[in-house]
Structure 1
Amino acid sequence: MLYEELMFDSSLLLRFTIFRYLNQSSMQIFPVSQLSDEMGLNYQQTVIELNEIDAELKEIYPEHETIMMRAGKINLENLSASLDEYRYHLLKQAVPFQFILYFLNEEEPTIEKFCDKYYVSRSTVSRKIDRLKRYLKTFNLRFTYTEAGMSGDERLIRIALFNILWLGTRGLAFPLDVDEELVDKSVETFKSYFPLSRTYFGVHELRMFAGISIMRINKQHFAKYDTRYNFLMKNNPYYDFTSLGELLDVPMTTRQLKGESSFIYFLAHYAPFYTVRDDNSLKQTLHDFEAYPNPVNSFVTEFRRFAKKTLFPDKPEVMDDPLIIGNLLNITFAYYVFRQPFPNIMSMVLEHKEHQSQGEHVLEQNIMNFMHTAGENTDYQFVRSLRVLLGKSFKHLLMPCFNQFPYAEDLKVGIAMEHNAMFVLELYRFLDDLRFVEAEPYDASLKDGYDLIISSSMLLKKEKPNLPIHVLEHNYSEKDLIPLYLMLREIYAKKNQANLKA
């Protein structure tokens, strides 16, 4: 389920959906009637929601000028807040977001105190956090109420809290009541372990993770050491197990310090972070996973051997790319450690695709066949219950490298325009640059042979209304080719959907 669907009630979600739709429009003036039709709302309800959005924009920016115009029009140039700013404004009104910040920031949080603070009943809280509660349950995490908070594996709790707070703030705000100077010192101390630290947003992400961890430690919620880390961290001088104790003013036993320190290093390996080949942390990862025999490296090596023969027979060097290897190791290590689903940002921001391309289907099926066979190997038993999750993660990582064109059929496009080079040469050049399009002068005798016909006149549309026709004015510009490109991509995707029933 997408992030906003988890966090917003129906009223907040509707306003967010309307604002996002308007925010993505390229128009300057937008008719209210068109918005109501496309949102499936009646006209009066649409006006009410727009006035509510207008008032909220005024709260965000007092100098905001109204988006409402006369004659049922909306002035999109006056959308004074970004999508991230508006989302965060709504989140501060959303019970799930309020509840999470409350139990993180409050000294002695209880559900009764929360209800008093936000003027809500316990039944309202229960109803409005239900979707988030069901989502967290898939990771064996639960909300607690006597002491307001969360229960379950502390590592998963922190990852879930980070995902929720980061996606809500996107670096625009730091809503944690914690010593930010200590947060910055923590990031500075451990940043060399994280490839994230080399990027602008990565530093902000590390600050959020550090803030959450410090707050949880302050409340005596500790992450435990996991023996599955041993082959990577035990007797490895690269990992420093003393600095955290010197940094934090919280008494910790040797075991607690070891657990917390190890969790920091695990975080550096729990996601496919690597995007730059010349990265010391990537080089260290490749070295450390090779240094001692372990099922993670063995499994990735076995998969790479398979992929070179089956997935990339024409370019096996793809599977020797340090970026691919490092990210495969991180993905596998996380599943090797947790042995269950764990919170994932991508699943909260990318809509589930109902249809795959034929190429994507071929890639996934080949990977799943490998996973099924590997899961029967006693050396890789950790894969057995995670085949689908691990397989899909591998597929998403490798998809940009996989050549889908042998499994796809190009679009056939007919050009029905005046036979004048001034009109058509630029269009042909544009279409020739698209690897998936074959363009030629329109031949009326082909009847149903074209996926799309591009014409400069409505004449053909009137004569043959059932033909797929896109009208392009003679004086088209590059800007006019953008919607044409999007249309071609959509047609191409539909034409090459995998026939899963076959």
Structure 2
Amino acid sequence: MDFERIMLDNTSYSYYQFYKLVETSRPDRYTIHYFAQRADQTYQKTYNTLQEINMMIQKIDPQQESILVPYGGVDTHHLRVSLDRFRYELIRRNIPYQLLFFMLKHPQSSLTEFCDYSGKSRSTIFRRMNHLNSVLSRCNLRLQYKHLQIVGDERYIRLLLCQIFSLSTHNIDWPVSPQIEKQVQAVRKVVLDNSEDFEKIEDAHYFNIVLTIEFLRIQSGHFVKDDPRYDLLIESNPSYKMNELEEFVSVLPEDVQQAEMHFGFFLMNFPITYRNQNDTHLQKILAYYKSSQNIIWHFVMDMFHYVERKADNKELNLHSDPVLVGNALIMTVGYYFLQIDLPLLSSNVAVGGIFEFGKTSLYERLKFYLDHLPAKYADFVPVRGALLEQYYNLLLPTYTIKAPQYRQTVGLMMQTNVSSFQAYSFLFNAMPELEVEPYTLGQQYDMLITTSAVFYRKNAAQGNCFFFQVGDDQSLIQLALDVKNYYQKHVVDTLRIDSKKD
């Protein structure tokens, strides 16, 4: 279940889904009928939804003009409220967010106090918390209502809260008290001033969320327990420079100081996403794990070897990509420490990308490998479900780009000048699964793309010929959707393997 479905009630979720259609449409003037078709709902329901959304965005931003125009039109030229902002306003008005935020700021509160604060009845709160309670249950956590708190492993509680509040406030400043904000910035400054490894932390927002959750949970008397597994991440690791933070943890009971520093260092390393092979922190991580030759390094290398050996493309070399290796190591060490199939929540703020292929042969091979782990990797058995999902998403782009069975040759037939042809050829070649070349009569292609209506009519019956109009953005968007649907149906859905063959 996606994050928005967990945090929003049915009405709010429908508003979010509809506003995503509006906000992600090219600025223009549209008919209500246009959005009714895109949302696959009646004209009257679409009209009512747009009326509600129009009032909502004008309350969110008083400078927002009405997007409704006379004679049933919708004008998005002057839309000011981003999808992130609209989504946040919906989430913060719903019970799951309100309850969690209330608990953080008022750790000794009761359900009765929250009912008074929110103006909602107990039965409404219980009903609206169903989706989130299911997520908590997957993490071996539960919400205690008598004394309002989440009960379970403190590490899981903090990680889940970090996910929830960072996703809720995506591209939004999270409102916390000035006192907490001052503490957060003080710690952040010490970390960045004393560790060159974290000079390039890209997601400052997530880092601030992590520190805020840490302070609020510690201040309310909730501490993590130490774990000998941390030695694997810390021992002889030149990046472990947590002594600079001793002034902040010295006020804590002595028996929890080391545990909090160890967990704090873990949070700085999970879940980091590397994008640049020259990243200082990535280089040190790779050097550390390669020299230590610990269980994490061997597990990732063995998994890569298996995928390469079973791939149809014998030129596939996952080991040669330092960014891929680094992300796999960080991902693996995270679940090794957690020892639970902790769900990583995901938002559908971004519409699906080019690699949403479903369960391909890579998925089946990874599943077979993780289902048949040797005894030396027994510690990974409890988290293999989470690792399967994460490895699949991580490796799929590289796997599909390198695998010839995923490539489709495209004959591009355009009646235009050379420069225009090159521009569109370059655009289509940016889709990793397509290999575009000028159309040649008599040549066999997997797909045909054309700007000629006559050529299209002659070949449309084949089902693999697609038309677009030069200079028309909507036509290009439709082309991309048609190509993606064709690729899914005729390539992805047919490339299934029986895991027993492995």
Aligned to 1:363, what secondary structure does the other structure show?
helix
Quick one: distance in 2 between partners of 1:464 and 1:308? 38
- Equivalent residue number for residue 54 of structure 1: 54
**Match for residue 113 of structure 1?**
113
Q: Is 1:336 matched with 2:336?
A: yes
Quote how far apart the aligned CAs of 1:103 are.
0.6
The answer for the alignment partner of 1:366 in structure 2 is 365
Amino acid at match of 2:200: R
Bigger Cα displacement from structure 2, 490-499 vs 339-348: 339-348
Looking at structure 2, the residues matched to 24 and 34 of structure 1 have their Cα atoms a distance apart, in angstroms, of 14
Letter in 1 for 2:225: K
Task: Pick one of 433, 436, 450 that aligns with 1:454.
Answer: 450
Q: 1:460 to 1:371 in 2, by over 3 A?
A: closer
> Structure 1 residues 280 and 424 mapped into 2: Cα distance closer, same or farther (>3 Å)?
closer
CA contact under 8 A between 2:410 and 2:448: conserved in structure 1?
A: yes
- CA displacement 1:294-336 (0-9 Å, x = unmatched): 32222223334445555574253x4044333322221211121
Deviation at 1:431, TM superposition (A): 4.2
Identity fraction in percent: 23
The residue that corresponds to 1:247 in the other structure is 248
Q: Answer whether contact 1:3 1:349 (CA < 8 A) is retained.
A: no
Equivalence for 1:155 = 155
Which secondary structure state, in structure 2, belongs to the residue aligned with residue 15 of structure 1?
Answer: helix
Moved more, 61-70 or 41-50: 41-50
Deviation of 1:400 (Å): 2.7
Alignment partner, residue 45 of structure 2: 45
Displacement of 1:211 in angstroms is 0.7
Look up the equivalent residue of 2:204 and give its one-letter code: V
Does the alignment pair 1:301 with 2:333? no
Q: Could you tell me whether the CA contact under 8 Å between 2:107 and 2:148 is conserved in 1?
A: no
**Cα pair 1:336 1:382 within 8 Å, conserved:** yes
What residue in structure 2 maps to residue 286 of structure 1? 286
Please give the alpha-carbon distance, in whole angstroms, between the structure 2 residues aligned to 1:227 and 1:423: 67
Q: Secondary structure at the match of 1:173?
A: coil
- 1:169 matched to which residue of 2? 169
Q: Assess if the C-alpha contact under 8 Å between 2:2 and 2:348 holds in 1.
A: yes
Query: Which residue in 2 is equivalent to 1:68?
Result: 68
- What is the Cα deviation at residue 21 of structure 1? 0.4
Cα distance in structure 2, aligned partners of 1:291 and 1:425: 51
In structure 2, the residue matched to 1:209 is 210
> In structure 2, what is the equivalent of residue 100 of structure 1?
100
Alignment of 1:432-443 (within 5 A): 434=429, 435-437=434-436, 440=439
Q: Deviations over 1:392-435 (max 9, x none)?
A: 322322223224441136255584x7xxx546884477348634
One-letter amino acid of the structure 2 residue matched with residue 164 of structure 1:
I
Structure-1-length-normalised TM-score: 0.85
**2:200 corresponds to which of 174, 194, 198:** 198
Superposed displacement of residue 145, structure 1: 1.4
Whether the 8 Å contact between 2:110 and 2:146 is mirrored in structure 1 is yes
2 CA distance for matches of 1:281 and 1:481? 40
| Structure 1 residue aligned with 2:408 | 410
Q: For 2:118, give the aligned amino acid.
A: Y
Secondary structure at the residue paired with 1:222?
A: coil
Distance between the aligned counterparts of 1:142 and 1:217, measured in 2? 19
Task: Please say if 1:497 is aligned against 2:492.
Answer: yes
> Is it true that 1:389 corresponds to 2:386 in the alignment?
yes
Gaps of 5+ in 2: none
Between stretches 259-268 and 323-332, larger displacement belongs to: 323-332
Please say if residues 356 and 497 of structure 1, whose CA atoms lie closer than 8 Å, have aligned partners that are also in contact: no
Supply the distance in 2 between the matched residues of 1:34 and 1:426 (Cα, whole angstroms).
30
Aligned-residue offset at 1:138 = 1.1
For the 8 Å contact 2:316–2:402, the answer to whether it is kept is no
Q: Name the CA shift for 1:48/1:486 in 2 (closer, same or farther; >3 Å).
A: closer
- Offset of 1:64 from its aligned partner? 1.6
CA shift digits 1:44-89 (9 cap, x unpaired): 3322221221111111211221111111111112322011111111
Provide the C-alpha distance between the structure 2 equivalents of 1:60 and 1:334, rounded to a whole number of angstroms. Answer: 38
- In structure 2, do the counterparts of structure 1 residues 239 and 68 end up closer, same or farther at CA, with 3 Å as the change threshold? same
AA aligned to 1:396 is: N
Q: Which amino acid aligns with 1:198?
A: K
SS in 2 for 1:77: coil
1:160 deviation in Å?
0.9
**Whole-angstrom distance in 1 between the partners of 2:52 and 2:167:** 23
Residue 322 (structure 2) pairs with residue 322 (structure 1) = yes
Separation in 2, partners of 1:6, 1:73: 33
In the alignment, what sits opposite 2:84?
84
TM-score, structure 2 as length reference: 0.85
Distance 1:296 1:199, change over 3 A: closer
Residue by residue over 1:263-307, the C-alpha shift from the partner in whole angstroms, topping out at 9 and shown as x without a partner, is: 111113333522233333333323443555632222223334445
State the shift of 1:242 in Å.
4.5
Distance 1:63 1:423, change over 3 A: same
- CA offset digits 1:106-137 (Å, max 9, x no partner): 25321111111111001101111111111221
Structure 1 partner of 2:424: 430
Distance, in Å, in 2 between the alignment partners of 1:394 and 1:460 is 41
Query: Counterpart of 1:408 in structure 2: which amino acid?
Result: Y
User: Which of 373, 396, 399 is 1:399 aligned to?
Assistant: 396
* 1:142 aligned partner: 142
Q: Distance in 2 between matches of 1:215 and 1:114?
A: 18
Letter in 2 for 1:41: Q
Q: Is the CA contact (8 Å cut-off) linking 2:343 and 2:386 kept in structure 1?
A: no
Inter-partner Cα distance in structure 1 for 2:284 and 2:26: 46
2-structure distance, mates of 1:168, 1:343 = 16
In the aligned structure 2, how far is the partner of 1:329 from the partner of 1:409?
29
Paired with 1:162 and 1:212, the residues of 2 have a C-alpha distance of 7
Report the more deviating stretch, 22-31 or 364-373: 364-373
Q: Do the aligned residues in 1 keep the contact of 2:240 with 2:265 (CA within 8 Å)?
A: yes
SS in 2 for 1:264: helix
For residue 439 of structure 2, give the secondary structure of its aligned residue in structure 1: strand
Amino acid at match of 1:454: T
Distance 2:422 2:59 in 1: 50
Equivalent positions of 1:120-135 (< 5 A) are 120-135=120-135
State the 1:212 CA deviation.
0.9
Aligned-pair Cα RMSD in Å: 3.5
Q: Secondary structure at the match of 1:143?
A: strand
Query: CA distance change for structure 1 residues 411 and 220 in 2, over 3 Å: closer, same or farther?
Result: same
CA 436–106 in structure 1, closer or farther in 2 if over 3 Å, else same: same
Aligned in 2, Cα 1:292/1:25: closer, same or farther, shift over 3 Å? closer
Q: Is the 8 A contact 1:20 1:83 kept in 2?
A: yes
Q: CA deviation at 1:223?
A: 1.3
Shift of 1:248: 5.1
SS at match of 2:175: coil
